Structure 1
Amino acid sequence: MIPVDERDTSASSGNAPDVVVVGLGPVGITLCNLLAAEGVSVEGVDAATDVYGLPRAIGMDHEVMRIFQNVGAADALAPAVGDYRPSEYRSAQGVLLRRFESPAEPYPLAWPPYLTFLQPELEQVLRDNAKRFPTLTLRTGLESIELKDPHAPILTLRDRATGETTRRTPRFVVGCDGGNSFVRRSLDIGFEDLGFHEPWLVVDMIVEDEHAQLPQTNIQFCNPSRPHTFVIGPGRLRRWEFMILPDEDPDDVNRPARIWELLSPWLRPDQARLWRSATYTFHALVAETWRKGRVFLAGDACHMMPPFLAQGMVQGIKDAANLAWKLAHVLRGTPEGLLDTYQAERRALVRDVIEITKRLGRVICELDPEKARARDAELIAAMEAGQGIQIRQNLFPPIRHGVVAHRADGSLSPGVGEPSPQPWIVSPGGRTRLDDLLPSGFVLLLAEDIDAPPALLEQARKLGVTVHRISRTRPERTPLAEEDGVFAAWLSAKGACATLVRPDRMVFGTAANVREVEVLLRELRSHLAG
């Protein structure tokens, strides 16, 4: 347990943190690590005294793992992380309706495109990792009880053990405090309801019989008599999710005897141990605004989505990565207008992800037998036409608004708003992921055959952009020689010779020649000037 520190860090004490993060779940603790890695003075507070010990989220993607890599936590996370199997949709008769797969190696971001994990272990690793940063303090057992004036935030906290109250007056507050967010309620921010409210039972089992006959892939059972889901977690963790039918009582469905009835097609009670069961209503909601003054929302505090693509925590971590670099830049003197791009970028994208997830949820949750038969016929026809196997990551759109480069006609150049590639770099000392060799901040990555004139290099330097060439065939020209041609292939597919990459490793823009690189740098200067 991380001890509570009861000292007052209000402005009058002269040591107010730049940022207070409320909530130390996976989104909040990630944001704390990201800010501290940028040298920001940050305090993370949570009402609970320790990490919640049961699993909740179970899937994450390569962008999230890259974020953990960039705060130095990836190696320590290895024991908590597992493979993510392909996902299949099957009819009540067991017929394959749809299949989601991941791209083959070499992976575009150096990490497997999707992974499973154990949330309690992940959160603990990130809390332990926080000890690396001298500007980061975590305080637990502190309940947020009042938030005044979002334009000059005054946050009051109460020690749950002693009842003592303290006050914080940071430059910024970020609410990462979940679906029932105190911060969101204090700001009187409502949700846009996107029209999905379905009750489900979630059951996590530790399988103790290695001979238990269980599926070898994740499966969405699109059975109108009861839609349900099977997910293979790390190690011996297996998850089942069962839709609660309209005439059922959630409390009754969540009784151990009833749970074992539902699990009986797969397991006997002597083959597995019940770790957790809980009933949820899966929602599709997005907060009307994600910022008031100098107070922000991230994660479940500003969006909730059905779990059918395992995007809830993933999108929250991406909120944190998007907001962290912008707060750090503003704290170093960039105009505060940069912070307006947080909502502009993230809300539209998250809303799209929710709509995509909701559409898949409607497919899975169909209870009408006639409509289910029509759905099955349509999906089977798509499978027979070669259209039923999809790459999960291809479902999601890129960033389209905010700090991204536009062409003269207002369109986005190829690759804008996507995560930039992260190839493996080879050297006499071994192989390393690209980000581990790059500084934080904006970077300009060049193909091996482009020569950057001194004027361009000076233009980049003045903006704080570091310039690096990545070689594929002539490693003598640069210390960054990639192993599998991932970066070169990506540039070729975009018709580009260079890419300007943001601190969150998202693509600001691509360029086909030196002149277009210069245009990118000028546009970046405009964005950062406010």
Structure 2
Amino acid sequence: MTSHPDQYDVLIVGMGPVGKMAGLLLARAGHSVLIAERKTTSYPLPRAVAHDAEIARLLQHAGLRVDGIPDAVEPYDDLYVWVNADEEVLHQVDWRGIDPSGWNNTYFYNQPALEAHLDADLLAQPTVTVRRGVTATVRAQDGDGVDVAIAPAASTGVEDGTIEDGTDSHVEIIRASFVLGADGANSETRADLGIQWNDLGYFFDWLVIDVVPREGFPAMHLAKQICDPARPTTVVPGGPGRRRWEFMRLEGETVEELTRPERIWELLAPFGVWPENADLERGVVYTFNSGWAEQWRDHRVFLLGDAAHQMPPFAGQGLAAGFRDALNLSWKLDLVLRGAAGEAVLDTFVAERQRHVADFIDFSMSLGRIICITDPDAAAARDQDMIAARQAGREPEPPPAPRLGGGLHRGPQGGVLSRQGRITTDEHPDPVRFDDVFGAAALILRAGTPAPPADLIDDLASFGVRTVVEGSDFVDADGTYAKWFEDLGARAVLVRPDFYVYGTAIDEASAIELIAQFTSDLAAPTVVGARAEAVS
């Protein structure tokens, strides 16, 4: 057994998209990151396929703008249509236009292409080290860090950190201030820590097919849910230059017969898709599960992404939830690692994210209960109810509004997603997005509201929060902030680095109190981890 001479700020187990995003965010903040991954290469086929405006804003924050990677991501500016077997419209979701986060409501993407861009940005960071083909096992924790055993993965003749002859001479002990388990649904980190999984018992098998159109491919654009009891089906864009179908596996069908190429082409034929006009990229059966880990934190080890929670794909929020985990945790770890905040702030990660994830698990399962009906009588009753509701102008329940559970926010407007509008400044006479100029973390003051005293502005700056005044530091190009202040009934709003509102203030005095609350919630006299110097 050997010990590594270096101590990392953060060791991330798993180099899927969530691990990559967490690593990129922490490295961009200046922290040393080691990513340990069992597989020697990234998964080459698409899995997740859609994200919303909040994730587009997160990618913007991470330096990976969706409008700059047209090979990987494309906006969707149309309706999401639900129909029954007779093509009668049951429901329509309007995904057109710009979301309050400042980006299109919906994007479709090709996951391998998106991850390739993530890889390039991640590996360009000088503080990132990647170890592939290895396992990472938490051996011990104390008040200053975590000891992690790194060993060749089982495919190279090593399993669980011990080589086959019973010795552990190939095991290397790495020291990290914190460990993030982002190693997926079958998380070994979760298993190593003995954390139990709460399975909601809701699962269905779906055949997921991705095709690359060729000449003669039928014209189609809409995202469509076909609620046909004979075979519930989803048809959506698959990212630039691709199209996706998802077919529910019916009772009595085996995975083997459903994934035969001949059977796949049979299922695609009614849509006018044949081997002559499309290339089959993949056809794989996935089991859509729902559940969560009963603990997301064990002292200095955190679970995030599929290691912590899973949901059906019907709301398009699975990978998005993991990305939100990465952002919520990374900005807090940044403050703790550089001594600007106490470790108590890390307690808020679980409380805030669990509420948010639970809402989307419930919502995605509720959609599944509508979509996955195979009984003809039950489907007919569903169709009748949805058509009647549509004719009466009644809308189904919308997705849950993004809101954090209890944690680092104050007041009834705290914990909600902030808005991002377009602004102009002296340096930017043409409209640009707010975050591109000032970053997400900001105390935004309405025009005419006095700025707080300089010492309080400095206090906020120590936590990476800018103080900006509408009409003075920026011009509200589209009236986004004026309307937002009016809706909030506020003259000041304090936005955290993850785009969520800490709190609001109605006047100068309450703005000063808001700053005092924020700094009090975060401030700590001690430095944690291997890196103590301030990060600009």
Report the TM-score, using the length of structure 2 for normalisation. 0.89
Letter in 2 for 1:500: L
The answer to whether 1:79 aligns with 2:71 is yes
Q: 1:409 maps to what in 2?
A: none
Q: Give CA deviations for 1:316-360 in whole Å, capped at 9, x if unaligned.
A: 000000000111111122221111111101112101110011001
Paired with 2:108 and 2:88, the residues of 1 have a C-alpha distance of 26
Are the counterparts in 2 of residues 82 and 233 from structure 1 also a CA contact under 8 Å?
no
Q: 2:501 maps to what in 1?
A: 507
Are the counterparts in 2 of residues 89 and 99 from structure 1 also a CA contact under 8 Å?
yes
Q: Any idea what SS the aligned residue of 1:43 has?
A: strand
Candidates 206, 224, 236, aligned match of 1:200: 206
Q: 2:151 maps to what in 1?
A: 158
Letter in 2 for 1:94: E
The answer to whether 1:111 aligns with 2:103 is yes
Q: 1:53 maps to what in 2?
A: 44
Q: 1:364 maps to what in 2?
A: 371
Q: 1:304 maps to what in 2?
A: 310
Letter in 1 for 2:131: R
Question: 25-34 or 505-514, which moves further after superposition?
Answer: 505-514
Number of residues paired by the alignment?
A: 501
Q: Give CA deviations for 1:131-164 in whole Å, capped at 9, x if unaligned.
A: 34222222222233x3222444222222356964
Q: Give CA deviations for 1:380-416 in whole Å, capped at 9, x if unaligned.
A: 12211223378x6x5334113111113xxxxx23xx2
Query: Equivalent residues in 2 for 1:215-234 (5 A)?
Result: 216-234=221-239
Question: 325-334 or 131-140, which moves further after superposition?
Answer: 131-140
Paired with 2:157 and 2:419, the residues of 1 have a C-alpha distance of 50
Q: 1:3 maps to what in 2?
A: none
Q: 1:525 maps to what in 2?
A: 519
Q: 1:443 maps to what in 2?
A: 442
Q: 1:418 maps to what in 2?
A: 416
Rate the CA distance shift 1:501–1:9 in 2: closer, same or farther, 3 A: farther
Are the counterparts in 2 of residues 99 and 389 from structure 1 also a CA contact under 8 Å?
no
Rate the CA distance shift 1:368–1:162 in 2: closer, same or farther, 3 A: closer
How far residue 261 of structure 1 moved from its aligned partner, in angstroms, is 1.2
Q: Any idea what SS the aligned residue of 1:445 has?
A: strand
Are the counterparts in 2 of residues 88 and 96 from structure 1 also a CA contact under 8 Å?
yes
Are the counterparts in 1 of residues 213 and 243 from structure 2 also a CA contact under 8 Å?
yes
How far residue 122 of structure 1 moved from its aligned partner, in angstroms, is 1.0
Letter in 2 for 1:469: V
Q: 2:380 maps to what in 1?
A: 373
Are the counterparts in 1 of residues 348 and 407 from structure 2 also a CA contact under 8 Å?
yes
Give the % identical residues.
Answer: 37
Q: Any idea what SS the aligned residue of 2:21 has?
A: helix
Are the counterparts in 1 of residues 233 and 247 from structure 2 also a CA contact under 8 Å?
yes
Paired with 1:228 and 1:78, the residues of 2 have a C-alpha distance of 27
The answer to whether 1:190 aligns with 2:183 is no
How far residue 420 of structure 1 moved from its aligned partner, in angstroms, is 1.7
Are the counterparts in 2 of residues 208 and 236 from structure 1 also a CA contact under 8 Å?
no
Candidates 125, 129, 133, aligned match of 1:141: 133
Paired with 1:138 and 1:78, the residues of 2 have a C-alpha distance of 27
Letter in 1 for 2:286: Y
Letter in 1 for 2:72: A
How far residue 270 of structure 1 moved from its aligned partner, in angstroms, is 0.9
Are the counterparts in 2 of residues 101 and 389 from structure 1 also a CA contact under 8 Å?
no
Query: Equivalent residues in 2 for 1:340-489 (5 A)?
Result: 340-388=347-395, 394-406=399-411, 412-413=412-413, 416-427=414-425, 429=428, 430-438=430-438, 442-454=441-453, 457-463=454-460, 464=462, 466-471=465-470, 474=471, 477-478=472-473, 480-489=474-483
Paired with 1:213 and 1:23, the residues of 2 have a C-alpha distance of 39
How far residue 467 of structure 1 moved from its aligned partner, in angstroms, is 4.3
Question: 442-451 or 321-330, which moves further after superposition?
Answer: 442-451
Which stretches in structure 1 are left out of the alignment for 5+ residues?
1-6, 407-411
Q: 1:32 maps to what in 2?
A: 23
Q: Any idea what SS the aligned residue of 1:196 has?
A: coil
Q: Give CA deviations for 1:184-221 in whole Å, capped at 9, x if unaligned.
A: 1111111222231111111111111355143x311111
Q: Give CA deviations for 1:475-516 in whole Å, capped at 9, x if unaligned.
A: xx32x2232111221221111111101121211112222222
Letter in 1 for 2:74: G
The answer to whether 1:125 aligns with 2:117 is yes
Q: Any idea what SS the aligned residue of 1:400 has?
A: coil
Letter in 2 for 1:356: F
Paired with 1:9 and 1:513, the residues of 2 have a C-alpha distance of 56
Rate the CA distance shift 1:77–1:50 in 2: closer, same or farther, 3 A: farther
Q: Give CA deviations for 1:289-340 in whole Å, capped at 9, x if unaligned.
A: 1000110111011111100011110000000000001111111222211111
Which stretches in structure 2 are left out of the alignment for 5+ residues?
159-169, 525-536
Paired with 2:171 and 2:385, the residues of 1 have a C-alpha distance of 60
Rate the CA distance shift 1:150–1:90 in 2: closer, same or farther, 3 A: farther
Candidates 307, 323, 327, aligned match of 1:321: 327
How far residue 81 of structure 1 moved from its aligned partner, in angstroms, is 0.6
Q: 1:100 maps to what in 2?
A: 93
Paired with 2:420 and 2:402, the residues of 1 have a C-alpha distance of 19
Report the TM-score, using the length of structure 1 for normalisation. 0.90
Paired with 1:217 and 1:70, the residues of 2 have a C-alpha distance of 29
How far residue 439 of structure 1 moved from its aligned partner, in angstroms, is 5.0
The alignment yields a C-alpha RMSD, in angstroms, of 2.1
The answer to whether 1:497 aligns with 2:481 is no
Q: Any idea what SS the aligned residue of 2:7 has?
A: coil
Letter in 2 for 1:438: F
Paired with 1:97 and 1:362, the residues of 2 have a C-alpha distance of 15
Are the counterparts in 1 of residues 212 and 242 from structure 2 also a CA contact under 8 Å?
yes
Paired with 1:245 and 1:77, the residues of 2 have a C-alpha distance of 38
Query: Equivalent residues in 2 for 1:193-342 (5 A)?
Result: 193-214=199-220, 216-266=221-271, 267-333=273-339, 334-342=341-349
Are the counterparts in 1 of residues 198 and 294 from structure 2 also a CA contact under 8 Å?
yes
How far residue 179 of structure 1 moved from its aligned partner, in angstroms, is 0.4
Paired with 1:37 and 1:193, the residues of 2 have a C-alpha distance of 36
How far residue 233 of structure 1 moved from its aligned partner, in angstroms, is 2.2
Letter in 2 for 1:290: W
Q: Any idea what SS the aligned residue of 1:338 has?
A: helix
